[in-house]
Amino acid sequence: MDVERKRRMFELLVRMGFKDIEVGYPSASDADFSFVRMLIENDEIPDDVTISVFTPARLELIDRTFQAIEGADRAMVHLCHATACLWRDVVFGMSTDEVQAMAVRSAEHIARKASSAKGADLRFEYSPETFNVTEPDFVLQVSNTVTALWDASCDRPVTLNLPSTVETDSPNVYADQIEWMHRNLDRRDAVILSVHPHNDRGTAVASAELAVMAGADRIEGTLFGNGERTGNVCLATLALNLFSQGIDPQLDFSDIDEIRRTVEFANRLPTSPRHPYAGDLVYTAFSGTHQDAIAKGLAAIERQALAADIAWSEVPWDVPYLPLDPKDVGRAYESVVRVNSQSGKSGVAHLLMSAYGLDLPRGLRVEYAKRVQRVADDRGSELTSRDLRAIFTEEYLDFAQSALLLKDFRVIREESTTHVEALVVVGNGAEVRLSGTGADTAAAYVDALLDAGFICELLELTEHTVGETLGNGFAAYALLSLNGESWYGAGLAADRDAARLNAVTSAVCRALAS
């Protein structure tokens, strides 16, 4: 990262509520050194945030690290070196005694440098890198030595960070190692026991969660698991795992897409569309059975909210396939259900309802979903809500060139019956005036159609209001029996009666077009 990318990332972490933020490795990078100086000199570190700077166990690099944090009101100096046998033999060419002596020299040097930094609140962190593949007795010995040199106390605790630098075992093994350290450390009440899982085996999140159960107090990680090789543990996943169980992580993920955009800008790496909680597809169902369950779950929450006269957000979240409410992280319900050739009636109907407010009756949902699936199969791609509306319009609403066109009508209501007079255009272009009587406008219109030779029976009529997206009017759905078969039709209009008559006309036209 350059300085601007680091600044954007730091500002994001502060807004989200992080209080310990490792801001760089200033002894190894001029960009990191400049960034730390900029934060301090421009007074950009909030009073409740502690920056941390990383240093290896080399005295001249420790000196450079202290130069970077000069003038900081508070900071944590993070000393790190490998302790495992392979690193001792191959990288350092040192014995265990020599590695311990290196740790002692570095810890003492850090303590001396800190004592000369007058007025600054400096804390210490020690990481025996490769902890998870180091002999337990040796790593315990080195850790106790360092915390003693730094005079760890309840008032000034030392952070002891135990990395699984390269993940080599299942999460339960790492948790056992953490528990053993937790039970055997000197000055345990003066040590903040931290874990730093990597994701080489794909189990960093599980390792971190089990480590906390085993006694860890703190977790180091990154947003969306960025880091060396397969990355560090993902703090977003950890936090939202807690959130999904009703535990407040005290971090703000209310706009996860903006968080993701900032992280992608800073790291210049994309986030997988399947990344937990943050990916484009993680709140999305394509499968028909999943869509059906989600739609029913959302409907159940709506019913509970209406029954209790409370907002949706106050109803306990319990929806199949969605571990948390997408709106809690800034996502919309419109993206929950996506339509392709595998989608069923519930998913198709849910998307049409959420995008346009069209609440199809069950039989029409089945029929319409089959039409949508055929289109999706032919295209070989996902369909948008706009595609669904176009398919619905073509199939049920657009009959300008059909065998029956309703031009005008008049409704006369009496105490127990309704009369409809209508002007229609039939297939040969002739205008025909019709008149009929029935229990409502739809039934009266069906009766009137006998005058034009259309013998049909009204089996079902449903209707509802529609919102601004469709003109603030009415939608009606009619099921007719015609020529020995049943046909659905739909109508949209500003007027309820017009919507009903349009729905009947639609059903007749579809029957004749077959």
Regarding whether 257 and 210 lie in a shared domain, the answer is yes
CA-nearest of 208, 291, 206, 223 to 21 is: 223
Q: H or E segment at 195?
A: strand 191-197
Regarding whether 349 and 413 lie in a shared domain, the answer is no
465, amino acid identity: T
Joined tokens for residue 488: 């659905």
Regarding whether 105 and 239 lie in a shared domain, the answer is yes
Regarding whether 87 and 128 lie in a shared domain, the answer is yes
Q: Flag whether 278 is in a domain.
A: no
Q: H or E segment at 335?
A: none
Using a 10 angstrom Cβ sphere, with 0-12 exposed, 13-18 middle and 19 or more buried, the burial of residue 499 is: buried
CA-nearest of 400, 498, 483, 395 to 442 is: 498
What residues are paired with 122 via a beta bridge? Answer: 75
Regarding whether 429 and 393 lie in a shared domain, the answer is no
Pairing of strands 404-413, 20-24: unpaired
| pLDDT the model gives residue 337 | 63
Joined tokens for residue 354: 């959420």
How many C-beta atoms lie closer than 10 Å to residue 300's C-beta? 14
Q: Flag whether 276 is in a domain.
A: no
Regarding whether 141 and 70 lie in a shared domain, the answer is yes
The per-residue pLDDT string of the chain (514 residues; one tens digit each, 9 = 90 and over) reads 999 999 999 999 999 999 999 999 999 999 999 999 999 999 999 999 999 999 999 999 999 999 999 999 999 999 999 999 999 999 999 999 999 999 999 999 999 999 998 778 999 999 999 999 999 999 999 999 999 999 999 999 999 999 999 999 999 999 999 999 999 999 999 999 999 999 999 999 999 999 999 999 999 999 999 999 999 999 999 999 999 999 999 999 999 999 999 999 999 999 999 999 999 989 887 777 888 888 889 889 999 999 999 998 899 999 999 999 999 999 976 566 667 666 667 778 878 888 888 999 999 999 998 999 899 888 888 888 889 999 999 999 988 777 899 999 999 999 889 999 999 998 878 999 999 999 999 999 999 999 888 999 999 999 999 988 788 899 999 999 998 899 999 999 999 999 999 999 999 999 988 7
Q: Flag whether 274 is in a domain.
A: no
Q: What is d(CA 58, CA 89) in angstroms, rounded to the nearest whole number?
A: 18
Say which residues have a Cβ less than 8 Å from residue 367's Cβ, sequence separation at least 6.
488
Joined tokens for residue 385: 């809500």
Q: How far is CA 79 from the centre of its chain?
A: 35
What residues are paired with 460 via a beta bridge? Answer: 479
Confirm if 158 and 126 have CB atoms less than 8 A apart. Answer: yes
Question: Which domain does 48 fall in, by range?
Answer: 3-267
Pairing of strands 418-426, 191-197: unpaired
Regarding whether 207 and 187 lie in a shared domain, the answer is yes
Under DSSP, the state recorded for 232 is B
| pLDDT the model gives residue 340 | 66
Regarding whether 425 and 348 lie in a shared domain, the answer is no
Q: What is d(CA 379, CA 394) in angstroms, rounded to the nearest whole number?
A: 17
Regarding whether 249 and 369 lie in a shared domain, the answer is no
Joined tokens for residue 150: 């730094």
Q: What is d(CA 226, CA 198) in angstroms, rounded to the nearest whole number?
A: 10
Task: Report the interhelical angle of 288-308 vs 345-356 (nearest 10°).
Answer: 50
Q: Flag whether 282 is in a domain.
A: no
Angle among Cα 375, 377, 379 to the nearest 5 degrees reads 70
The Cα-based distances of 335 to 330, 339, 377 in angstroms read: 11, 10, 21
Regarding whether 20 and 164 lie in a shared domain, the answer is yes
Angle among Cα 42, 47, 49 to the nearest 5 degrees reads 95
Q: Hey, is 477 helix, strand or coil?
A: strand
- Domain CATH code at residue 478: 3.30.160.270
What residues are paired with 476 via a beta bridge? Answer: 463, 491
Q: Flag whether 331 is in a domain.
A: yes
The Cα-based distances of 360 to 193, 342, 349, 353, 498 in angstroms read: 57, 20, 7, 8, 18
Regarding whether 449 and 360 lie in a shared domain, the answer is no
Regarding whether 483 and 509 lie in a shared domain, the answer is yes
Q: Flag whether 418 is in a domain.
A: yes
Q: Flag whether 203 is in a domain.
A: yes
CA-nearest of 371, 359, 396, 421 to 507 is: 396
| pLDDT the model gives residue 287 | 75
Joined tokens for residue 431: 């205008």
Q: Flag whether 20 is in a domain.
A: yes
The Cα-based distances of 209 to 30, 134, 217 in angstroms read: 35, 21, 11
Say which residues have a Cβ less than 8 Å from residue 166's Cβ, sequence separation at least 6.
130, 132, 133, 198, 200, 229
Say which residues have a Cβ less than 8 Å from residue 202's Cβ, sequence separation at least 6.
230
Using a 10 angstrom Cβ sphere, with 0-12 exposed, 13-18 middle and 19 or more buried, the burial of residue 318 is: exposed
- Domain CATH code at residue 353: 1.10.287.1400
